[in-house]
C-alpha cells in the first residue's frame, strides 16, 4: 500500500515538470538568431583518401560533396 501511495505522490509531483514554457521572444529578437546555417567553407570527410581528394575537387569547383 505504501508503494502505491509513493507512486501516486511521485506522479503528482512529476506532472508540473512536464509543462513547457513558450520561448521568450524579446531575447530572441535581440540576439537576431538565424535558423539557416550559412557556412563560408566546406569540409570533406571519408575513410578513403581518393574519395577525400575527389570531394575536395568538387568543392573547389563550386559544387557540394
Does residue 33 form part of some domain?
A: no
Q: How many domains does the chain have?
A: 1
Does residue 22 form part of some domain?
A: no
The pLDDT > 70 percentage for the chain reads: 72
pTM of structure? 0.39
pLDDT at 40: 75
Does residue 12 form part of some domain?
A: no
Q: What is the pLDDT of residues 16-46, one digit of tens each?
A: 777 777 766 665 556 666 667 667 778 888 9
Does residue 30 form part of some domain?
A: no
Does residue 2 form part of some domain?
A: no
d(CA 12, CA 35): 37
Does residue 57 form part of some domain?
A: yes
Domain extent for 49: 41-65
Residue partners of 34: CB distance under 8 A and separation at least 6: none
What cell numbers appear for 12 in the block? 503528482
Does residue 61 form part of some domain?
A: yes
Amino acid at each position: 500500500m505504501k508503494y502505491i501511495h509513493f507512486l501516486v505522490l511521485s506522479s503528482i509531483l512529476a506532472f508540473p515538470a512536464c509543462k513547457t514554457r513558450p520561448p521568450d521572444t524579446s531575447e530572441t529578437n535581440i540576439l537576431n538568431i538565424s535558423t539557416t546555417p550559412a557556412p563560408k567553407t566546406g569540409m570533406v570527410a571519408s575513410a578513403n583518401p581518393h574519395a577525400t581528394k575527389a570531394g575536395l575537387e568538387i568543392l573547389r569547383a563550386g559544387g557540394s560533396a
